[in-house]
Structure 1
């Protein structure tokens, strides 16, 4: 039976609008919403000309960028398109994008794609403000993956030495976000599904991240449930737009805009992913496929009792029976996550990415971000289990 069977998915018109503080002017969501939402956001921002920032594959192999260029041209608001943004956002691309922003006379960036172009746009705007000393220009983000980079205030990029560094400011958060599931159809399956695990990583790690208020944690439970439900359905029928739209909303719930004072890794799984990704060219989504389940398993031993409670309760929302104790429930959650990863065909190893075993102690130390962390030996063993 197709996942488009109307008895499973009645014609749900999942679309709408949400706004949050003065920083985020609005989130528009729904299939086809880019046609009306992009002009509205340009008007709200008073923007005259836009630089599109995207990746080479999306630019060369799909019609997505051409269609967005057409929307901008209809308003005489097209400045230029920059597509030299690589995986993990190398700083050379940021500098080239900054030059084109100035040359084209653009006063807003429209980022299209996954985390790399969205983060690159934040970095371009950051360096533009630093260089000019003027107001920070704004970004309209149109994501085509589930990585949720559009909901954070910071940007990670790779410097000349190949190290991941970050810039952070409340003003770098996108001023507008458009979740149009139709634009995600050309996204390669492995990228789409693995960034869905990245969103799951957000939802799980926010359950034990400090400063996340309880209402947001309950949204993370909802995100977790929908990601477990709809990722397999999306793999079964990649053209099911209604399923893709539900996944975009689940990604949003996994990292609902919270006014954090600084940009940082959500937790250990993300921290390990940051250290592995840029150095060994492992895609963001795949790092979560590698590290999330083992990290949750470790939390059964090292988390605070309060954090253990939040993690263990996830089984209730997933409608899985309890083992009778928190530690057992957390280990069962880890097993469920690994089963989801494997079922999506996303099982990976550090061997595939040629990560030297002698590097593991250093990776663990940098991820923990403090000397002599008592969990360092356990994190090294976690990494060793990924071969």
Structure 2
């Protein structure tokens, strides 16, 4: 195991700003967080990882606003090229084009800047290059500007030429370093910022009943849930508050805490439905969570195991809400609180005009893997309620 020199990343400061460094395993060398941290952390991570030339991978909408990161890369001996044509849901054609640029320019590391699409695209790009190069591990430094939390997983989702969602997974795909600099999120569009916050809430909630998630991580998710309920409305009310944005980045981190041996089981029905709705009907994943999460939590009050319901019911304590007196009632109350949060953020949506009703059985079947799955009729009924 590599030894992290924490002092190398520490900044002496009397500021009360939320900032610091967290080191982990051989895969993830560290998370640097704090406003303005990218300017010092990026060169240090670059040197520590032994990289020689970097490809900056970002999305189309962020390209004009990512100049600060590109300028920092150009200031160190290691800038290679920028690829900015990563579209929503990481289309395979964009990944192939980025792979060509990475190879042609002799890059050996990716610095991904943006949301889940460029970060997942970087993972997919590295996955296929590693296959071609006999398993040689290639590296990524992730600089997220949304709250989608893609940087904390070992898997990547992208869309094939037919619009189908494809997934690849490997411990070697986890970013080798992550920088959470809230100042870089100020240019993220409000709708994207807040909706990916609901995506992080989706992670936190579904981890409460996700198989194999250990109790300490569930406790982190309950803490993340409370922070997201508190700080998302504050961020909407005061979008220029870097302090609030930094707290939301930490909440997103807690919602999907990286583990060396991540149990790569499905997060839950909200995510399963979101994956099928997102890529097929071009709905951003943050918005799919806004549409499905409340309804899925309400369904869990009916079909969840007793343990699942008890964990969900604990959320009311973390939200400083009174118990209804029953576990099932508390879970239903959580569903209402989620719905109210989404509405208060101006993100209330439905499937009308986006998804043909005749597609519902197919969506439910694809999300669950079979139309004989015990949850299939519940999923169909749930989707029908979302119009």
Q: Could you tell me the TM-score, scaled by structure 1's length?
A: 0.95
Residue of structure 2 in register with 1:241 after alignment: 242
Residue of structure 2 in register with 1:364 after alignment: 364
Q: Is residue 383 of structure 1 aligned with residue 383 of structure 2?
A: yes
Residue of structure 1 in register with 2:153 after alignment: 152
Whole-angstrom distance in 1 between the partners of 2:118 and 2:200:
17
Bigger shift: 65-74 or 196-205?
65-74
Decide whether the 8 Å contact of 2:199 with 2:290 is kept in 1. Answer: yes
Shift of 1:262: 6.0
Match of 2:58 among 31, 35, 54: 54
Query: Helix, strand or coil: the match of 1:288?
Result: helix
CA spacing shift, 1:54–1:137, aligned 2, 3 Å? same
Decide whether the 8 Å contact of 1:109 with 1:138 is kept in 2. Answer: yes
Whole-angstrom distance in 2 between the partners of 1:319 and 1:380:
33
Residue of structure 2 in register with 1:281 after alignment: 282
Q: Could you tell me the TM-score, scaled by structure 2's length?
A: 0.95
Superposition map of 1:346-357 within 5 A: 346-353=347-354, 355-357=355-357
Superposition map of 1:30-109 within 5 A: 30-60=34-64, 62=65, 65-109=66-110
Superposition map of 1:160-175 within 5 A: 160-175=161-176
Deviations along 1:170-200, whole A, 9 cap, x unmatched? 0100000000000000000000000000000
Bigger shift: 298-307 or 69-78?
69-78
Decide whether the 8 Å contact of 2:27 with 2:175 is kept in 1. Answer: yes
Residue of structure 2 in register with 1:321 after alignment: 322
Residue of structure 2 in register with 1:221 after alignment: 222
Query: Helix, strand or coil: the match of 2:45?
Result: helix
Query: Helix, strand or coil: the match of 1:246?
Result: helix
Q: CA RMSD in A?
A: 1.3
Residue of structure 2 in register with 1:14 after alignment: 18
Unaligned runs of 5+ in 1: 1-10
Unaligned runs of 5+ in 2: 1-14
CA spacing shift, 1:262–1:217, aligned 2, 3 Å? closer
CA spacing shift, 1:17–1:261, aligned 2, 3 Å? closer
CA spacing shift, 1:321–1:262, aligned 2, 3 Å? closer
CA spacing shift, 1:234–1:182, aligned 2, 3 Å? same
Decide whether the 8 Å contact of 2:212 with 2:263 is kept in 1. Answer: no
Decide whether the 8 Å contact of 1:168 with 1:262 is kept in 2. Answer: no
Bigger shift: 69-78 or 92-101?
69-78
Deviations along 1:190-228, whole A, 9 cap, x unmatched? 000000000000000000001111000000011000000
Whole-angstrom distance in 1 between the partners of 2:17 and 2:188:
22
Superposition map of 1:130-145 within 5 A: 130-145=131-146
Query: Helix, strand or coil: the match of 1:20?
Result: coil
Shift of 1:130: 1.3
Query: Helix, strand or coil: the match of 1:84?
Result: strand
Whole-angstrom distance in 1 between the partners of 2:260 and 2:202:
19
